[in-house]
Structures are given as structure tokens and as C-alpha cells.
Amino acid sequence: MEWPELLVNLDPSRQQLDRQAELLASAEDQLPIYCAKGCRNCCSLAVNCSFPEAVAIANSLTADQRQNLNAKLPLLHQISQQAEGLKQFLRQFRARLGGCPFLTIEDGSCSIYPLRPFSCRALLSTRNSNWCAVDFADLHPQEKEAFLSSLDPQLVAFPTHYLAASQELGLELEAQSLVAMRDAFGVALSGNLLYQVWLEAEYQLSAVMSKGFDEARLFLEQNRLDLPFLLQLQRG
């Protein structure tokens, strides 16, 4: 299997997840879903994805999207290198990066919507979008306790207010993408969406990945690209 086939094979998985999201959102016995075009508060989160998903997005970038992405990279590098742990990285990413570069300025909608990662597709909010912007570390303990007690642990990915069923399927499909990459090239790569898209756009990293794990690791190390919290490289 080569890269064109890997990327084409993502389409049925995207459709499968979208169908499940639609069913969950319309089910009468399900929690209400508040996601809507332009609500975008979740778009400040650090998004992880498989490298094939990132390659598909990189291949579709317009000049403006590429420019917006490039503008974020120096700060992303800085946050990665300064963070003392994953939790701090995630908080600093959200607090300092200023949102996803693929959001449109006009209405805050997703400009890569058809190709957005499984992790974005799977995030279905059972609360008003204002809750998607809350940093729970900043909540008063009583507010946090009240919020947690209002959640249904059988339906949400506790302690968040996002539906569990769609996230479980999203993780499964992402894992399938990584298995397909590993089977094809003897190496699998996942990590931060923005960083992986930039690596493909800037370095055509997919060509390096097709040479296997050792070549990929050497390339990342020699070019000082294997930054903390941004990439997970796995041998096949």
C-alpha cells in the first residue's frame, strides 16, 4: 500500500464517524448536542491525529491556510520546549496559541471541515459551547463539583461533557489509520495536528516515512524536529 491508497481509505472512516455523530445528535433518548457551525470554543484545544490524516490536510492547503499555519509555528515550538509536562503544555497551548489557524476569520467556521481529523469529528458537546471554553483548573471547587455531579458517566467521557460513544469510535478509526501506515511502511506517526500538517507541508515528511522507522527517526533528529509533546513515532 502506498500513500494515495492510504489517504483514499480515510474517506469511508470519515463517513462512518459522521453517520454515527448524526445518529447520536438526533436520537430521542440521547443527551442534546449543542455543536453548531461557528461555535468554535473547542477549536482552542490541542488536537491529536494520525499522520495520514495530517497528510490529507496538508495536501489540500491553500496559500492563505499555509500562511496562517506558519504564523502559529514559532509559538507552538516555544510552548513545546518550555512546558514542564504534558498538562502544562496543553494548558499553555490553549491559553497562548490563539485558536486553530484553520478557522475562518469571517464566521469562525472550519476551513478544512471535510478533512478535519477524527478527534474533531468525534467531539460532541452535551453542554452549551460556553462550557467548551472553560479551563476547569480555574473553576471554584464548588462549581467544579456541581458540574461533575450534573454529568451522566454512562454517556459522557467523564469528567468531560463530551459524548463517549463518538470519541470511542474516533479513537478506533485513528488507530486503524496508524495500523495501516505501520503495515505499509514499518513505522507509524501520530501527534499534534498543526505540527504534523506543517511537517508535511514544509518537509514532505510522508516521503521520509515511506522509507521506514530508522530513516524517519534519523530525519527528525537531524533536523531537530522531534519536539516534546508534539510527535509519537512507533516502529512497525
The pLDDT score that the predictor gives to residue 155 is 92
DSSP 97-122: S-S-TTB-TTT--BTTGGG--HHHHT
The verdict on residue 61 lying in a domain is: yes
Indicate the pTM of the whole model.
0.95
The pLDDT score that the predictor gives to residue 193 is 98
Average the pLDDT over each of 20-29, 45-54, 153-162, 169-178 and give the range with the smallest value.
Answer: 20-29
Residue 198: domain span: 3-70+98-235
d(CA 171, CA 174): 5
Q: What value does the mean pLDDT take over residues 110-119?
A: 97
The verdict on residue 178 lying in a domain is: yes
The verdict on residue 225 lying in a domain is: yes
The verdict on residue 45 lying in a domain is: yes
Best CA proximity match to 30, nearest among 209, 156, 138, 150: 156
**What are the tens digits of pLDDT across the range 30-39?**
788 998 888 8
The verdict on residue 93 lying in a domain is: no
Q: Residue 108 — pLDDT band, cuts 50, 70, 90?
A: confident
Q: What value does the mean pLDDT take over residues 34-59?
A: 94
d(CA 156, CA 162): 5
The pLDDT score that the predictor gives to residue 157 is 94
pLDDT at 64 over 80: yes
Q: Residue 27 — pLDDT band, cuts 50, 70, 90?
A: confident
The verdict on residue 76 lying in a domain is: no
The verdict on residue 80 lying in a domain is: no
**What are the tens digits of pLDDT across the range 121-138?**
999 999 998 999 888 888
Q: Residue 28 — pLDDT band, cuts 50, 70, 90?
A: low
Please state, as a whole number, how many other Cβ atoms lie within 10 Å of the Cβ of residue 164.
17
Domain count, the chain: 1
The verdict on residue 123 lying in a domain is: yes
